[in-house]
A and B are shown apart, each in its own frame.
Chain A
Amino acid sequence: MVDIALEPKAARRPIREATRWDLLRANRNWLGFWFMLPAMAFLILFLAYPLGLGVWISFTDARIGRPGHFIGTENYEWLWDDSIFWLSVFNTLLYTTIASAIKFAIGLYLALLLNENMPFKAMLRALVLIPFIVPTVLSALAFWWIFDSQFSIISWSLKQMGLITENINFLGDVTWARICVIFANIWRGVPFVAITLLAGLQTVSPSLYEAATLDGATSWQRFRFITYPLLTPIIAVVMTFSVLFTFTDFQLIWAMTRGGPVNATHLMATLSYQRAIIGGTLGEGAAISNAMIPFLLAAIMVSWFGLQRRKWQQGENND
């Protein structure tokens, strides 16, 4: 039997040494490179190249329609002495800090609420998402009307109730304007925070809460010792994104106030646009944009270290 089985084998093709090409074809890294190529091309073309160009332009005196000459750090020196630029930095920080903090608080509250068993849960979850799916410009326009100096529904309602006699000049007053744009940003940003945190909450096993209940935890203690620690990784991700989005916000402000009144709501992004595109001084606008980079890097660094896998997430899974 052995002889019969062996005989046809001898007739087989001789075994060929693998060539370099064969090895390359079987190499998983080579395959991986090809899979990465489209994404890399996209990132280089639409992110790295514009970023590099922006940095280059900030060192020139380019204006619209005229290629610039290299002028070193003159644009930055100029900005250093520009009080409007510093005002926009202050505005951006104020806007980001307050809006992000409130978005986190409301988002977490909503997420906890929507995680409870209650009637119409699915419908409420869908409702929460509405601000997120309305195009930003449309919601900004709606807010623009809501806060209009003459036709504001808020002023009208308050007047009907007899609480005020004069219209409130929402977008014409420095403090009110800041409150209004922050409010609009919060309204728009809460769903993202709420839904993401809700997704995080749903990964927490219910039996942990039952175990904690039997261990004697009150509902506050369950939040403090179980929910919150288990949610920290996702909170870090969500808040990083939220801060980045808020810091670079442009649409809402531009549609509602264009940076006014007297630059009180100018963020760095809107100021950059105003100087570069409206004013035509591309170099200066680019410099303002680039001034955001250190802040954004700082935010990313914070989350990078915040996101380092915690000790309890590490280790072998021996199941």
Chain B
Amino acid sequence: MSSVQIRDVRKSFGNFEVLHGVSIPIEDGEFVVLVGPSGCGKSTLLRMLAGLENITSGTISIGDRVVNNVQPKERDIAMVFQNYALYPHMTVADNMGFSLKLRGARADEISNGVKRAAEILALTPLLDRYPRQLSGGQRQRVAMGRAIVRDPQVFLFDEPLSNLDAKLRVAMRTEIKELHQRLRTTTVYVTHDQIEAMTMADKIVVMHDGVVEQMGTPLELYDTPANQFVAGFIGSPAMNFLKGKVKSNGSAGFEGPNGVKLPLASAPANSDGQPAVYGVRPEHFTIADDGAEAEIVVVEPTGSETQVFAKLGGEQVVAVFRERHQFNPGDKIRLKPDPTLVHLFDETTGKRLNA
């Protein structure tokens, strides 16, 4: 186990720069999730960490050692691939023991290592099977087993759950998190799924177009997104954004689309009339008499909660209620955002304006 330091790393393919100076400190034993939409450079960064892509500039160090020019096999890392990359002609046991075999370990060392990892992952009855004979979830576990056997300094996961069906994905998510809590190995996990990021990470790194948008614990990112991109990316259903102007003459407020009045706890200094984006999470709406009038478009009950899509000042917003209201499409309701929990972003830069 060891820490990982990524310092001002850039990556270009030809003249095309995909990573524009990324710095991420990763502590020993930390579970870090790199999350972002496709093409944001998160997988490239992971592959650079593994040594499968070279580093155009900047440094990556594992422990105290700069590994820019260290061969992948010398880096002491293990990676779980999206398609698992299991060797089809080897049994589960051979797949898991392959790295030990290459290292020249004795036969009993290999079988002990494999056995230990197989027990952790409940793979013992499958050791003699071939990858073809396994289900998706079992293959996923074998791929993790192969990583565990190595007892590496760092685990790398490259979208490991995206080939699984929804139910299995949730189960494996828990399993990976549990495994990390047990082994405490530094882990870097790449995904495009913000729910995976939120549920698993000690620290989330949100990436977009080759830069880090924000870094922090899941709840930090959720509660105080640094910009509109992070605000929209983290959370499901996504945050509602309403364009308008800040009002700070007298009491603070916000004038939304078509003059809708929205509450604001406090306005940033010297911001009267400043155009801005008002962000409110779906669960921070309440029904109140002094709320803004909205017309219900669609009601989607999920059992534990109800998602309501409504027109607010001509813009579609979504609100989530845990209590059961009797709503029908076409009903007029009064939606009131919780003023202490709303977010304000700069209209052009997208930067967060309120504290």
Cβ of B89: which chain A residues have Cβ within 8 Å of it?
229-230, 310, 312
Give bound CA distance, A55 to B318, whole Å. 84
A205 within 8 A of B: yes
Cβ of A316: which chain B residues have Cβ within 8 Å of it?
132-133
Of the listed stretches B31-39, B80-88, B335-343, name the one at the interface; the rest are far from the partner chain.
B80-88
Give the residue of A216, A229, A310, A314 whose beta carbon is less than 8 angstroms from that of B99. A216
Cβ of B182: which chain A residues have Cβ within 8 Å of it?
none
In contact, B130 and A315 (Cβ under 8 angstroms): yes
Give bound CA distance, A313 to B88, whole Å. 8
Cβ of B146: which chain A residues have Cβ within 8 Å of it?
211, 215
In contact, B52 and A318 (Cβ under 8 angstroms): no
Give bound CA distance, A213 to B150, whole Å. 13
Give bound CA distance, A229 to B131, whole Å. 15
Give bound CA distance, A212 to B98, whole Å. 8
Number of interface residues of A (CB under 8 A): 26
**Smallest Cβ distance from A213 to chain B, in angstroms?**
5
- The verdict on A318 contacting B73 (CB below 8 Å), with A225-B98, A312-B90 known, is no
- The verdict on A312 contacting B130 (CB below 8 Å), with A207-B81, A211-B79 known, is yes
Give bound CA distance, A319 to B150, whole Å. 27
In contact, B103 and A210 (Cβ under 8 angstroms): no
Contact with B along A208-226 (1 / 0, CB 8 A): 1011111111000100011
Contact with A along B66-81 (1 / 0, CB 8 A): 0000001100011101
Contact with A along B220-246 (1 / 0, CB 8 A): 000000000000000000000000000
- The verdict on A214 contacting B50 (CB below 8 Å), with A205-B83, A226-B87, A312-B90 known, is yes
- The verdict on A210 contacting B81 (CB below 8 Å), with A216-B103, A229-B89, A312-B89 known, is yes
Cβ of A221: which chain B residues have Cβ within 8 Å of it?
102
Interface centre among A205, A211, A230, A312 (most CB of B within 10 A): A211
Cβ of B304: which chain A residues have Cβ within 8 Å of it?
none
Interface centre among A214, A230, A317 (most CB of B within 10 A): A214
In contact, B77 and A216 (Cβ under 8 angstroms): no
**Smallest Cβ distance from A157 to chain B, in angstroms?**
44
In contact, B134 and A318 (Cβ under 8 angstroms): yes
Chain A residue nearest to B134 (CB atoms) is: A318
**Smallest Cβ distance from B51 to chain A, in angstroms?**
8
B136 within 8 A of A: yes
Bin the interface of chain B by size. 20 to 34
Contact with A along B108-151 (1 / 0, CB 8 A): 00000000000000000000011111111000000000100010
A311 within 8 A of B: yes
Give bound CA distance, A312 to B81, whole Å. 20
**Smallest Cβ distance from A225 to chain B, in angstroms?**
7
In contact, B77 and A214 (Cβ under 8 angstroms): yes
In contact, A211 and B85 (Cβ under 8 angstroms): yes
Give bound CA distance, A229 to B95, whole Å. 14
Cβ of B133: which chain A residues have Cβ within 8 Å of it?
315-316, 318
- The verdict on A217 contacting B73 (CB below 8 Å), with A312-B130, A317-B132 known, is yes
In contact, B52 and A215 (Cβ under 8 angstroms): no
Cβ of A225: which chain B residues have Cβ within 8 Å of it?
87, 98
- The verdict on A205 contacting B85 (CB below 8 Å), with A213-B52, A318-B135 known, is yes
- Residues facing B in A79-94 (CB within 8 A) are none
Cβ of A207: which chain B residues have Cβ within 8 Å of it?
81-83, 85
Give bound CA distance, A230 to B83, whole Å. 17
- The verdict on A214 contacting B79 (CB below 8 Å), with A207-B85, A226-B87 known, is yes
**Smallest Cβ distance from A112 to chain B, in angstroms?**
18
Give bound CA distance, A225 to B103, whole Å. 14
Give bound CA distance, A57 to B88, whole Å. 51
In contact, B99 and A215 (Cβ under 8 angstroms): yes
- Residues facing B in A210-254 (CB within 8 A) are 210-217, 221, 225-226, 229-230
**Smallest Cβ distance from A64 to chain B, in angstroms?**
55
In contact, A215 and B132 (Cβ under 8 angstroms): no
**Smallest Cβ distance from A219 to chain B, in angstroms?**
11
Give bound CA distance, A262 to B281, whole Å. 95
Cβ of B52: which chain A residues have Cβ within 8 Å of it?
210, 213-214
In contact, B73 and A214 (Cβ under 8 angstroms): yes
Cβ of B99: which chain A residues have Cβ within 8 Å of it?
215-216
Cβ of B134: which chain A residues have Cβ within 8 Å of it?
318
In contact, B85 and A208 (Cβ under 8 angstroms): yes
- The verdict on A208 contacting B87 (CB below 8 Å), with A213-B73, A215-B102 known, is yes
- The verdict on A314 contacting B103 (CB below 8 Å), with A207-B81, A213-B72, A214-B50 known, is no
Give the residue of B82, B83, B85, B88 whose beta carbon is less than 8 angstroms from that of A312. B88
Cβ of B82: which chain A residues have Cβ within 8 Å of it?
207
Cβ of B88: which chain A residues have Cβ within 8 Å of it?
230, 312-313
The 6 tightest CB contacts between A and B, nearest first, are A216-B73, A315-B133, A215-B99, A211-B85, A207-B85, A318-B135
**Would you list 10 pairs from A and B whose C-beta atoms are within 8 A, ordered by A residue?**
A211-B79, A211-B81, A213-B51, A214-B72, A214-B73, A217-B73, A226-B87, A312-B88, A315-B129, A316-B133
Binding site for A on B (CB under 8 A): 50-52, 72-73, 77-79, 81-83, 85, 87-90, 98-99, 102-103, 129-136, 146, 150
Having A211-B87, A229-B89, A319-B136, one finds 19 other A-B pairs with CB under 8 Å, namely A207-B81, A207-B82, A207-B85, A210-B81, A211-B79, A211-B81, A211-B146, A212-B98, A213-B52, A214-B78, A215-B146, A216-B73, A221-B102, A230-B88, A312-B90, A312-B130, A314-B132, A315-B129, A315-B133
